[in-house]
Amino acid sequence: MSDNGESDEVYNNSHRAFLQSLLSRATLTFEQARPVLAAIKNAQAQDGRDVQPADITEQDFSTFVNVTNAAISPFDLEIRDTLSQHDRTRIYALVNVSSDSITQLATTHTPDEIAFVKRCLDAMFETNNTYRSEVLAVRSTEAVRLAKAPTGQTQHVDATQGAQAQSLTMSSAQRMLQAMVDEGWFELSKRDFYTLTPRALMELRAWLVETYNDEEDERIRNCSACKAIITMGERCPDLDCTGRLHTHCKRMAFRAQNNNERCPVCKKDWKDAPPVGEKAATQNRRSMNGAGASTRSPTAQMDGANNSQDESTADEG
Ligand SMILES: [Zn+2]
Ligand SMILES: [Zn+2]
């Protein structure tokens, strides 16, 4: 059973049940999958054997994922996995892999609401993603201000093509932001920044690259270690270098280089590496004074806000 475990397993009711449980939640980790798979196996079991969550192995899980993926690929669906940028937990999600996946929002939201979401994404990946400062997030106050549609230019969102997007009211913008969180696209940090969730990054990967990258400017960048899109972590101290590392990928990347703490791309010392993510906004504000929006004390919130806060990200010398 074990040597070619994949091919002798066929898609059946248990995979269908597994797919159902994936559909009902935005993401799944291996630990969360164990009780689900145990319950499915028990429901299907003919021999009255009682499967415990602890009996479910990673091999069982990956076999389930592989068999299900083979069955759903004709529908442009795929179970993908990525590492959490917060703690490196592996996260699985059912994603639509067609490059226009953002238009699926159109089934549940109006064109004006989607145009608003597009303005939020533009803020994350264009306005707040510059040579000096890769914030890749949008502060909630800034996001609400985006309720107002720009005049005189048509936005490029498939679902709104041809129509001029209308402004949302502040309260409907706020409701839409909450809906994006509830539907698993945005997450709101303790310091009030919206970013894309791991699931959104997986699902929108092709669309993001297509929308924001061009030949001279790659605004969507990958972690040099895990190769997933990076929206929080660190960047090479040489601002011209493409080297980026998730905080939790750093150790692994350096270990692979015989513990040389150097950029995996240009090999320069990875010393005082500037942050990628919302920390870049607070850092920016401190050094450039007033580039950002509202003025809440960043230092007061920084301590304690991030309990599991990484290693010793050099407090600006
Ligand atoms: Zn990484
Ligand atoms: Zn570098």
What is the per-residue pLDDT for 108? 82
Q: Which ligand gives the minimal distance to the CA of 243?
A: 2
Looking at all shown ligands, the one closest to residue 262's CA atom is 2
Q: How far is the CA of 237 from the centre of ligand 2 (A)?
A: 7
Ligand nearest to the CA of 236: 2
Ligand 1 centroid to residue 228 C-alpha, Å: 6
List the pLDDT tens digit at each of the 317 positions of the chain.
Answer: 444 444 457 888 889 888 888 888 878 999 999 999 999 888 887 777 789 999 999 999 999 999 999 999 888 889 999 999 988 899 999 888 776 667 777 778 898 999 999 999 999 999 999 999 999 999 999 999 999 998 765 555 544 455 678 999 999 999 999 999 998 899 999 999 999 999 899 988 888 999 999 988 899 999 999 999 999 999 999 999 999 999 999 998 999 999 999 999 999 999 999 999 999 998 755 554 444 444 444 443 343 333 333 434 444 33
- Domain map (residue ranges) of the chain: 13-75, 101-210, 217-292
What is the Å distance from ligand 2's center to 120 Cα?
29
Q: How far is the CA of 247 from the centre of ligand 1 (A)?
A: 8
Count of helices and strands (H, E) across the chain = 11, 8
* 224 CA to centre of ligand 2 in angstroms: 10
Distance 185 CA to ligand 2 centre (A): 31
Residue 134 CA to ligand 2 center (angstroms) comes to 15
Distance of CA 292 to the CA centre of its chain: 23
Beta bridge partners of 193: 139
- Asked whether the beta carbons of 105 and 114 are under 8 A apart, the reply is yes
For residue 212, which amino acid is it?
A: Y
For residue 175, the one-letter residue type is R
The pLDDT score that the predictor gives to residue 12 is 86
Ligand nearest to the CA of 239: 2
pLDDT at 101: 65
Give the ligand whose atoms come closest to the C-alpha of residue 266.
Answer: 2
Give me ligand 2 centre to Cα 265, in Å.
Answer: 5
- Cα of 170 to ligand 1 centre, how many Å? 36
For domain 101-210, give the fold: Arc Repressor Mutant, subunit A (1.10.10)
At residue 24, the pLDDT reads 82
Distance from the alpha carbon of residue 223 to the mean position of ligand 1, in angstroms: 5
231/7 Cα distance (integer angstroms)? 37
CATH of domain 217-292: 3.30.40
The rounded Å distance from CA 241 to ligand 2 centre is 5
Return the pLDDT at 2.
Answer: 41
Q: How far is the CA of 111 from the centre of ligand 1 (A)?
A: 34
How buried is 97 (Cβ within 10 angstroms: 0-12 exposed, 13-18 middle, 19+ buried)?
A: middle
Give the tokens for residue 153: 């230019």
